[in-house]
Structure 1
Amino acid sequence: MEKLDATQTRLTDLEIKLSYTEHQLEQLDAVVIRQQQQIDALIAELKRLREAGTAETQPGQRSLRDELPPHY
Protein backbone atom coordinates (compact mmCIF):
# COMPACT_ATOMS: atom_id res chain seq x y z
CA MET A 1 0.00 0.00 0.00
CA GLU A 2 2.90 2.35 0.76
CA LYS A 3 4.26 1.96 -2.75
CA LEU A 4 0.86 2.86 -4.20
CA ASP A 5 0.65 5.97 -2.02
CA ALA A 6 4.17 7.04 -3.03
CA THR A 7 3.33 6.51 -6.68
CA GLN A 8 0.11 8.47 -6.31
CA THR A 9 1.99 11.31 -4.60
CA ARG A 10 4.60 11.41 -7.36
CA LEU A 11 1.88 11.39 -10.00
CA THR A 12 0.06 14.24 -8.29
CA ASP A 13 3.31 16.24 -8.06
CA LEU A 14 3.98 15.66 -11.76
CA GLU A 15 0.47 16.79 -12.65
CA ILE A 16 0.95 19.98 -10.63
CA LYS A 17 4.29 20.66 -12.33
CA LEU A 18 2.72 20.01 -15.73
CA SER A 19 -0.05 22.46 -14.92
CA TYR A 20 2.46 25.17 -13.98
CA THR A 21 4.52 24.42 -17.09
CA GLU A 22 1.48 24.72 -19.34
CA HIS A 23 0.57 28.03 -17.72
CA GLN A 24 4.09 29.38 -18.22
CA LEU A 25 4.07 28.22 -21.82
CA GLU A 26 0.81 30.08 -22.44
CA GLN A 27 2.28 33.21 -20.89
CA LEU A 28 5.42 32.97 -23.02
CA ASP A 29 3.30 32.41 -26.11
CA ALA A 30 1.36 35.60 -25.35
CA VAL A 31 4.63 37.51 -24.95
CA VAL A 32 5.94 36.22 -28.28
CA ILE A 33 2.68 37.19 -30.02
CA ARG A 34 2.80 40.69 -28.51
CA GLN A 35 6.44 41.12 -29.49
CA GLN A 36 5.72 40.03 -33.06
CA GLN A 37 2.90 42.58 -33.26
CA GLN A 38 5.29 45.27 -32.01
CA ILE A 39 7.91 44.23 -34.56
CA ASP A 40 5.33 44.36 -37.35
CA ALA A 41 4.22 47.83 -36.22
CA LEU A 42 7.82 49.04 -36.09
CA ILE A 43 8.53 47.69 -39.57
CA ALA A 44 5.45 49.48 -40.91
CA GLU A 45 6.51 52.73 -39.19
CA LEU A 46 10.05 52.44 -40.55
CA LYS A 47 8.68 51.89 -44.05
CA ARG A 48 6.40 54.93 -43.68
CA LEU A 49 9.29 57.09 -42.45
CA ARG A 50 11.54 55.97 -45.29
CA GLU A 51 8.85 56.78 -47.83
CA ALA A 52 8.26 60.18 -46.21
CA GLY A 53 12.01 60.86 -46.21
CA THR A 54 12.44 60.07 -49.88
CA ALA A 55 9.33 62.07 -50.78
CA GLU A 56 10.79 65.15 -49.06
CA THR A 57 14.22 64.97 -50.68
CA GLN A 58 13.20 64.28 -54.25
CA PRO A 59 10.97 67.17 -55.40
CA GLY A 60 13.21 70.22 -54.95
CA GLN A 61 16.49 68.85 -53.68
CA ARG A 62 16.67 71.45 -50.91
CA SER A 63 20.05 72.59 -49.71
CA LEU A 64 21.37 72.10 -46.20
CA ARG A 65 21.01 75.88 -45.62
CA ASP A 66 17.23 75.38 -45.71
CA GLU A 67 17.58 72.98 -42.78
CA LEU A 68 19.29 75.44 -40.39
CA PRO A 69 17.40 76.29 -37.22
CA PRO A 70 15.93 79.85 -37.05
CA HIS A 71 18.57 81.20 -34.63
CA TYR A 72 21.37 81.08 -37.25
Structure 2
Amino acid sequence: MTDTRILALEEQLAHLSRSVDDLSDVVARLDTENAVLKRRLQMVMEREAEREASAGGTAILADQKPPHW
Protein backbone atom coordinates (compact mmCIF):
# COMPACT_ATOMS: atom_id res chain seq x y z
CA MET A 1 0.00 0.00 0.00
CA THR A 2 2.71 2.48 0.94
CA ASP A 3 4.76 1.73 -2.18
CA THR A 4 1.73 2.38 -4.38
CA ARG A 5 1.06 5.66 -2.64
CA ILE A 6 4.69 6.78 -2.94
CA LEU A 7 4.68 5.84 -6.62
CA ALA A 8 1.50 7.87 -7.18
CA LEU A 9 3.03 10.87 -5.40
CA GLU A 10 6.24 10.62 -7.44
CA GLU A 11 4.16 10.45 -10.61
CA GLN A 12 2.16 13.50 -9.60
CA LEU A 13 5.36 15.36 -8.70
CA ALA A 14 6.85 14.54 -12.11
CA HIS A 15 3.76 15.93 -13.86
CA LEU A 16 3.81 19.07 -11.73
CA SER A 17 7.51 19.55 -12.39
CA ARG A 18 6.89 19.25 -16.13
CA SER A 19 4.06 21.78 -15.90
CA VAL A 20 6.29 24.24 -14.04
CA ASP A 21 8.99 23.86 -16.70
CA ASP A 22 6.45 24.40 -19.50
CA LEU A 23 5.02 27.48 -17.79
CA SER A 24 8.50 28.85 -17.22
CA ASP A 25 9.19 28.53 -20.95
CA VAL A 26 5.96 30.37 -21.75
CA VAL A 27 6.79 33.19 -19.33
CA ALA A 28 10.27 33.56 -20.82
CA ARG A 29 8.85 33.69 -24.36
CA LEU A 30 6.22 36.24 -23.38
CA ASP A 31 8.86 38.38 -21.68
CA THR A 32 10.89 38.42 -24.89
CA GLU A 33 7.82 39.28 -26.97
CA ASN A 34 6.90 42.02 -24.52
CA ALA A 35 10.36 43.57 -24.79
CA VAL A 36 10.13 43.56 -28.61
CA LEU A 37 6.68 45.16 -28.51
CA LYS A 38 7.88 47.85 -26.10
CA ARG A 39 10.76 48.72 -28.44
CA ARG A 40 8.42 48.88 -31.43
CA LEU A 41 5.95 51.08 -29.58
CA GLN A 42 8.76 53.42 -28.54
CA MET A 43 9.88 53.67 -32.18
CA VAL A 44 6.34 54.47 -33.31
CA MET A 45 5.98 57.13 -30.62
CA GLU A 46 9.30 58.70 -31.60
CA ARG A 47 8.34 58.74 -35.28
CA GLU A 48 5.00 60.34 -34.48
CA ALA A 49 6.69 62.99 -32.34
CA GLU A 50 9.12 63.73 -35.17
CA ARG A 51 6.26 63.91 -37.66
CA GLU A 52 4.33 66.33 -35.47
CA ALA A 53 7.43 68.45 -34.91
CA SER A 54 8.20 68.60 -38.63
CA ALA A 55 4.61 69.69 -39.32
CA GLY A 56 5.46 72.96 -37.60
CA GLY A 57 3.75 72.14 -34.36
CA THR A 58 0.30 72.40 -35.89
CA ALA A 59 -2.38 69.97 -34.86
CA ILE A 60 -3.19 67.20 -37.27
CA LEU A 61 -6.62 67.73 -38.81
CA ALA A 62 -7.85 64.39 -37.56
CA ASP A 63 -7.05 65.55 -34.03
CA GLN A 64 -8.92 68.84 -34.33
CA LYS A 65 -12.53 69.21 -33.28
CA PRO A 66 -14.89 70.45 -35.98
CA PRO A 67 -15.89 74.13 -35.61
CA HIS A 68 -19.45 73.25 -34.56
CA TRP A 69 -18.24 71.54 -31.36
Match of residue 22, structure 1, among 17, 24, 28: 17
Count of residues paired in the alignment: 60
- TM-score between both structures, scaled by the size of structure 2: 0.78
Say yes or no: does 1:35 pair with 2:30.
yes
Structure 1 alignment gaps of length 5 or more? 1-5, 65-72
Runs of 4+ residues deviating >4 angstroms: none
Q: Which has the higher contact order (CA 8 A, sep 6+)?
A: 2
CA RMSD of aligned residues (A): 1.7
The 2-side partners of 1:32 and 1:47 are apart by 22
Q: Whose Rg is larger?
A: 1
Structure 2 alignment gaps of length 5 or more? 62-69
